[in-house]
Amino acid sequence: QWFAPAPPSRKAATATEDDEDDDIDLFGSDEEEDKEATRLREERLRQYAEKKAKKPALVAKSSILLDVKPWDDETDMAQLEACVRSVQLDGLVWGSSKLVPVGYGIRKLQIQCVVEDDKVGTDQLEEEITKFEEHVQSVDIAAFNKI
């Protein structure tokens, strides 16, 4: 059995019909909608910028554990701690402390503090504490952790 080819379902388009199809905009880019979308986007960007400006910036902080060593076993450790805690700097908060035995009856003061990195440096902190020369022999950083 032999089958005849199916007749074409559509006739070939002429050149003038093709040109007419090109003039039709299928996606409907309307200038009114573009202006509205632009205005809406700018409004949302402005709102986002305002919200971002109100949010407080993240402050970099560090937790520092200091070892403050006295001159000898006769140093008044309560007075030494009072001197250390008397150091007041913007961005510095003193925490807990304890006395740790070193040897030969000498104890050192271990004291915790939290500092804002932009405001207080470790060198500055050490200088302020070592100004109490009659009580403090030296200051070492036992631990330094970013928060």
Q: Regarding predicted confidence, which is higher, 6 or 18?
A: 6
What's the pLDDT at 37?
86
Distance (Å, rounded) from C-alpha 38 to C-alpha 22? 28
What's the pLDDT at 26?
58
Tell me the average pLDDT across 66-71.
94
What's the pLDDT at 114?
95
Asked if 79 and 26 count as a contact pair (C-beta separation under 8 A), the reply is: no
Nearest Cα residue to 125 out of 69, 76, 85: 85
Assigned domain for 52 exists: no
Assigned domain for 37 exists: no
The CATH number covering residue 109 comes to 3.30.70.60
pTM over 0.75, yes/no: no
What's the pLDDT at 55?
72
Q: Regarding predicted confidence, which is higher, 85 or 58?
A: 85
- CA–chain centroid gap for 32, Å, is 42
Assigned domain for 139 exists: yes
What's the pLDDT at 39?
87
Lowest mean pLDDT among 18-22, 100-104, 109-113: 18-22
Each residue's pLDDT tens digit, 105-116 = 899 999 999 999
Query: How many structural domains are present in the chain?
Result: 1
What's the pLDDT at 29?
56
C-alpha dist (Å) from residue 73 to 67, 94, 107, 136: 16, 24, 7, 12
The range of the structural domain enclosing residue 140 comes to 61-146
